C-alpha cells in the first residue's frame, strides 16, 4: 500500500523543480501531501496489525517532518489546504454508504490525481546504462528487463533524449565534436551523462567513459575539454537526469515502457 519509491522520487523531483518552476514544484509537493494523508489514514484505520511495518511508520513520520520543513520555508499553507480538503470530504460523506476512513481515502486519492485541484483559486497562486542494449542490465534471471525488447526500451530513451535536446542548441553543440554526427553525440555523450548522473557518478568517471567511447570509434577529443561540457550539460539537463532515475527504477519494478513514458512526461514538461 505504502510506496517508498513514490516519496523518494517525488521529493527528488521537487528539489529539482523548485529551483526554476515553483508552479510545477507546488503541484508535486501537494500531491505528496495528499498521498501522505491517504497513507496515514490507511495505516491508522484500515491496515491490519500484520500489514503495519516499522519501516512504513518511520517513512511516513520522516516525510511528514520534511513537509513541515518545506511548508515553513516556502509557505505552502498545508493547513489551509487540509481544511479545504476536509470540507470537500464532509460534502462527499453526505448520502454516502462508505465509512469515514473509506471516504477520506477515496477523496485524497482523487485529489492527488487531479492537477486542477491544485490550481483552483488564490490558495495556490504564484558503464553507462543504455536501455537499447539489454546486456547492460545483466544476464539471465537477474536481468529485470530481459522480457522487454530493444524497441520497447527505446521508447523511454528516445523520449528522454528528445526532451534533453530541447534544453539547449543541440545542432550547435554537435559541432563541438569534430567529425561527429547527431547519433554519436546522443549515444556516446548525452546518454552516458544522463545515466552516470542518475547513478551518482562524478564528472571524472563520466568523462572517462565518454572519452573512451569517442576514442574507440576513432573520434579525437581532449579529455580536459569534456569536463566543462559535462558540468554545463548536467545543470541544463537536471529534469532529464531525474526522469532517467525514475524510468530505470520503474522498469526494474516491472512497469511497461509505455507507462513509464506517461509517468515521466510531467517531469519533463517545460
Alpha-carbon distance of 149 to 131, in angstroms, equals: 10
Q: Give residue-wise pLDDT tens across range 214-270.
A: 988 888 888 899 999 999 999 999 889 888 988 888 888 788 899 888 888 888 875
Q: If you average pLDDT over residues 111-121, what whole number do you get?
A: 44
Cell of 61: 513520520
What integer pLDDT is reported at residue 242 of this predicted model? Answer: 85
- Measured CA to CA, the distance from residue 74 to residue 72 in angstroms comes to 6
pLDDT > 90? residue 108: no
The DSSP symbol for 95 reads T
Average pLDDT, the chain: 79
30-75: pLDDT as tens digits: 888 888 887 888 788 778 888 889 999 999 999 999 999 999 999 9
Answer yes or no: are the C-beta atoms of 232 and 209 closer than 8 Å. no
Task: Provide the 3-class DSSP secondary structure of residue 255.
Answer: coil
Question: Which cell is 120 given?
Answer: 483552483
| Spatial contact of 254 and 207, defined as CB atoms under 8 Å apart | no
- Report pTM: 0.55
* Cβ contact 168:236 at 8 Å: yes
Q: b/e for 119-145, b at 16 or more Cβ within 10 A?
A: eeeeebeeebbbbeebeebeeeeeeeb
Lowest mean pLDDT among 48-52, 158-162, 203-207: 48-52
Q: What is the pLDDT of residue 86?
A: 65
Q: Give mean pLDDT, residues 1-14.
A: 82
List CB contacts of 213: < 8 A, sequence separation 6 or more.
188, 192
| pLDDT exceeds cutoff 80 at 133 | no
- Whole-number pLDDT of residue 126: 36
SS3 sequence, 125-185? CCCCCCCCCHHHHCCHHHCCCCCCCHHHHHHHHHHHHHHHCCCCCHHHHHCCCCCCCHHHH
DSSP state of 120: S
Confidence band (pLDDT; 50, 70, 90) for 1? low
Amino acid at each position: 500500500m505504502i510506496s517508498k519509491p513514490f516519496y523518494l522520487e517525488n521529493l527528488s523531483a521537487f528539489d529539482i523543480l523548485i529551483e526554476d518552476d515553483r508552479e510545477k514544484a507546488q503541484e508535486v509537493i501537494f500531491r505528496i501531501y495528499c498521498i501522505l494523508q491517504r497513507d496515514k489514514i490507511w495505516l491508522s484505520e484500515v491496515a491490519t496489525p500484520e500489514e503495519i511495518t516499522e519501516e512504513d511508520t518511520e517513512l511516513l513520520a520522516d516525510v511528514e517532518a520534511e513537509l513541515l520543513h518545506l511548508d515553513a520555508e516556502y509557505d505552502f499553507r498545508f493547513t489551509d489546504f487540509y481544511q479545504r480538503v476536509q470540507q470537500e470530504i464532509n460534502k462527499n460523506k453526505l448520502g454516502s454508504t462508505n465509512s469515514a476512513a473509506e471516504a477520506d481515502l477515496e477523496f485524497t486519492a482523487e485529489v492527488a490525481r487531479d492537477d486542477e485541484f491544485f490550481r483552483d483559486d488564490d490558495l495556490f497562486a504564484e558503464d553507462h546504462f543504455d536501455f537499447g542494449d539489454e546486456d547492460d542490465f545483466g544476464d539471465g534471471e537477474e536481468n529485470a528487463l530481459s522480457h522487454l525488447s530493444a524497441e520497447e526500451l527505446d521508447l523511454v530513451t528516445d523520449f528522454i533524449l528528445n526532451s534533453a535536446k530541447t534544453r539547449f542548441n543541440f545542432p550547435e553543440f554537435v559541432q563541438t565534436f569534430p567529425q561527429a554526427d547527431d547519433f554519436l553525440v546522443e549515444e556516446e555523450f548525452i546518454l552516458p551523462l544522463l545515466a552516470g548522473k542518475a547513478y551518482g557518478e562524478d564528472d571524472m568517471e563520466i568523462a572517462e567513459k565518454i572519452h573512451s567511447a569517442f576514442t574507440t570509434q576513432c573520434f579525437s577529443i581532449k579529455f580536459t575539454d569534456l569536463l566543462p561540457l559535462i558540468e554545463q550539460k548536467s545543470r541544463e539537463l537536471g529534469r532529464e537526469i531525474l526522469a532517467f532515475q525514475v524510468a530505470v527504477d520503474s522498469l526494474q519494478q516491472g512497469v511497461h515502457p509505455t507507462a513509464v513514458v506517461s509517468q515521466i512526461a510531467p517531469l519533463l514538461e517545460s
